[in-house]
Amino acid sequence: MGPTASGKTDLAIALHQRLGAEIISVDSALVYRGLDIGSAKPSVEELAAAPHRLIDIRDPSVPYSAANFAVDAKGEIEQVVSAGEIPLLVGGTMLYFKALLEGLSDMPASDAQTRQMIEKDALQRGWPALHAELAEIDPKTAAEIHPNHSHRIGRALEVYRISGKPISEFRTHLSGGLMEDYHWLQIAIAPRDRAILHRRIELRFDRMLSRGLIDEVQALFERKDLHADLPAIRAVGYRQVWGFLAGEFGFDDMRQKGIAATRQLAKRQLTWLRSWPGINWLDTQEETGELLSSEEIVSKALRILTETTI
């Protein structure tokens, strides 16, 4: 696990090469075909050397949820274990990890008519106003959601309007988690200095732009079946470039918004991880503050694997 741009993929590939572990992606953007540059999807060469399961399994027009992931990941884990290999789950979508390990609640399925009414309301009043409405009926959930996170606000209101119960109440009754079914070793990789992570995020976003991120999003933008409210298009980076292509702001604003949104994502991921039970932290910095080399990071991970009792 770890925040975006922390080096998770490089470490996972190295561990695959050292241990023969089978990599299972835990990333809500990598599941979509055509989202390559902006999702930092491993290259063709990297995937040939270290195949990743649960990458490129959905068209961007088809939403993919934590519940979908939990089902798919369970199947992949069972296959890997049955073959006598070690599953290596890698990614930064903490909600996916949580759904897989702790289980899911029996909340009502999505209802198209209710969802449509909520989205119509949002067009008239704005998502921050609906966030305020959510805060009245479910302050616990509202406190966990950004006022502009349309998908999560919409889902929480949808559950309440269908069932009459706040979504937080459903989440107190979970089932189907795999935490007790396997021995887990959980590693969180990150530099301890937030400024270093921020710099890595900025450099990586600029590298994505230079590699053709705008052209990648342009191809999605031109599709008639895609729109800005789909989970794939709301992914960090894609949402900002989509807004640029729609004429909502200029290139410089898009770049700054993309970097800022990625930093906010990293902050949310670190917040999750700080309260995550059973974490082994892998600090990627020297005592001097310099970043460890790739080989040193791998050695540190292998020591954790050797020394930790599971």
Please give the average per-residue pLDDT across 305-310, as a whole number: 79
What would the two tokens of residue 238 be?
């894609």
Q: Tell me which architecture the domain covering 112-172 has in CATH.
A: Orthogonal Bundle (1.10)
Residues contacting 189, CB < 8 A, separation 6+: 1, 2, 6, 7, 8, 11, 282, 284, 297, 301
Counting residues of the chain whose pLDDT is more than 70, the rounded percentage is 99
Residue 49: count other Cβ atoms within 10 Å of its Cβ: 12
Confidence of residue 170 (pLDDT cuts 50, 70, 90): confident
Q: What is the pLDDT of residue 310?
A: 56
pLDDT in tens, 270-297: 999 999 999 999 999 988 889 999 999 9
Do the domains spanning 8-106+175-307 and 112-172 agree at the CATH topology level? no
Superfamily of domain 8-106+175-307: P-loop containing nucleotide triphosphate hydrolases (3.40.50.300)
pTM here is: 0.84
pLDDT in tens, 99-151: 999 998 888 888 889 989 999 999 999 999 999 999 999 999 999 898 988 88
Domain ranges of the chain: 8-106+175-307, 112-172
Distance CA 76, CA 39 (A): 22
β 87-90/22-25 pair status: parallel
pLDDT in tens, 199-245: 999 999 999 999 999 999 999 999 999 999 899 999 999 999 999 99
Element (H, E) at 296: helix 294-307
